[in-house]
């Protein structure tokens, strides 16, 4: 059995949404920053067991500094959201709570993973500083650059969606 699931990545410009997808789908990373325009679709199938696979149809949306500006029609029928912010740029998580609340309020039934990307750029002390803020909001710290916990983000999602 293959189940197809639509996953949408959201978050501010430049937090690494496209990079995370590329790391997951192609296992590559590039330092170049190419702004995503419109929507970019990619696909990757994960095998969970011998007779169960999940095909992720991943929607990479152009970044928005305010989640409310995201085109609602792109979010219809989504099976899971991945909300990405940039650990190295506090401006991308200063409104984290209200952005997550917005998703909870409007899409309460849809699973959501909140990830802080670019963990390779920060150290433990830095993260401790934000402990309280991140504590119950953030699911994972990841790095598209070195691949840390990217695979586990998606395989966790896959299991939850089946």
Partner 1 sequence: MNQDEKLSIIKDILLTDEREFTSSIEKKIKSLEKTINEKEKLSGKVDPIIDDKLNNFIKEIPKTLGPTITKTLKEEIKNSQDAVVEALFPIIGKMIKRYIQHEMKLLSDKINTQVNNTFSFKGIFRKAKSKASGVNESDLILQELSNTKIEQVIIIEKGSGIVLAEFSKNITTDEDMVAGMLTAIKSFVEDAFKKESQNLQHIDYDLYHIHLQNFSSFYIAVVISGAYNIIYQDKLEDKILDFTSKQKVSDILNNKTLINQKLEDFFNDDSI
Ligand X SMILES: Nc1nc2c(ncn2[C@@H]2O[C@H](COP(=O)(O)OP(=O)(O)O)[C@@H](O)[C@H]2O)c(=O)[nH]1
Residue numbers 9-68 binding Mg ion by CB under 5 A: 17-18, 36
Nearest residue (CB) to partner 1, 46 versus 57: 57
d(CA 78, CA 71): 13
d(CA 63, CA 147): 21
| Other CB atoms within 10 A of residue 52 CB | 14
Q: Which tokens in the block code for residue 39?
A: 């929507």
Q: Which tokens in the block code for residue 47?
A: 């095998």
Bridging pattern class, strands 52-61 and 2-10: parallel
Position 63 contacts ligand X (CB under 6 A)? yes
Position 40 contacts partner 1 (CB under 8 A)? yes
Cβ 38 to Mg ion shortest distance, Å: 10
Residue numbers 123-152 binding ligand X by CB under 6 A: 143-145
Find the largest Cα–Cα distance for the chain. 45
Nearest residue (CB) to partner 1, 6 versus 149: 6
Binding residues for partner 1 (CB under 8 A): 4-6, 37-43, 55, 57, 59, 71-74, 76-79
Binding residues for Mg ion (CB under 5 A): 17-18, 36
């Amino acid at each position: 059995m293959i189940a197809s699931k639509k996953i949408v990545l959201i978050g501010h410009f430049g937090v690494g949404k496209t990079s995370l997808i590329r790391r997951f789908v192609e296992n590559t990373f590039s330092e170049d920053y190419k702004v995503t325009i419109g929507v970019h679709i990619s696909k990757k199938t994960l095998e969970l067991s011998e007779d169960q696979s999940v095909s992720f149809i991943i929607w990479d949306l152009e970044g928005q500094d305010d989640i409310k500006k995201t085109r609602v029609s792109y979010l219809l029928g989504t099976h899971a959201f991945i909300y990405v912010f940039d650990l190295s740029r506090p401006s991308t998580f200063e409104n984290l709570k209200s952005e997550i609340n917005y998703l909870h309020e409007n899409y309460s039934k849809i699973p959501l993973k909140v990830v802080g990307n670019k963990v390779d750029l920060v150290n433990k002390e830095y993260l401790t500083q934000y402990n309280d803020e991140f504590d119950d909001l953030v699911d994972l710290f990841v790095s598209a650059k070195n691949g840390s916990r990217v695979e586990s983000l998606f395989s966790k999602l896959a299991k939850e969606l089946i």
